[in-house]
Amino acid sequence: MATKKQDGRQVVASNRKARHDYIIEDTWEAGIALMGTEVKALRMGRASLVDGYATFYRDELWLEGVHIPEYVQGTWTNHTPRRRRKLLLHRHQLDKIAAQLQGSGRTVVPLSLYFTDGRVKVEIATATGKKSYDKRHALRERQDRREAERAVFGRHRD
């Protein structure tokens, strides 16, 4: 079973590490071309977006590095877990993404994989990689915010 339901979505996998490693600029919802055994494995709630990224190949956007494990009851028709999968977007969206990728240090990363109305969708984002000091700064801000909330509500440690 897919894990969470939010906003009519049944979230299968989310890439929380992407928001830590990248500065997210724009997001898009894309369809994804899958085999039948991949959809069945996703319905069981099994997928990993951690190493995923998207690249242009022959003027189309392809999702690579996403791990959808083989379907347990699958036979010889089973899929390869880390195969390249085509993302389904309109031409004007693809052109916009391609224009944004012209800058240095930019990439396309998957943020979440979910079901909407029985169809598998992937939320992708154009992103710029963070430096290690940016990551430390973000962690420090989050820690300071938590400490301030604890002080306000009187839940501090003694």
Q: How high is the pLDDT of residue 75?
A: 63
Asked whether 13 and 38 are in contact (CB, 8 A), the reply is: no
- Tokens coding 84: 């390249």
Confidence of residue 157 (pLDDT cuts 50, 70, 90): low
Query: What are the domain boundaries of the chain?
Result: 4-153
How far apart are the C-alpha atoms of 44 and 28, rounded to whole Å? 25
97 pLDDT higher than 60:
yes
Q: How high is the pLDDT of residue 139?
A: 81
Q: Domain 4-153: give its CATH architecture.
A: Beta Barrel (2.40)
The pLDDT tens digits for 20-45 are 788 888 899 999 988 777 887 888 87
Output the pTM of the full model: 0.74
- Tokens coding 54: 């998207």
Q: How high is the pLDDT of residue 20?
A: 76
Over residues 71-97, mean pLDDT: 80
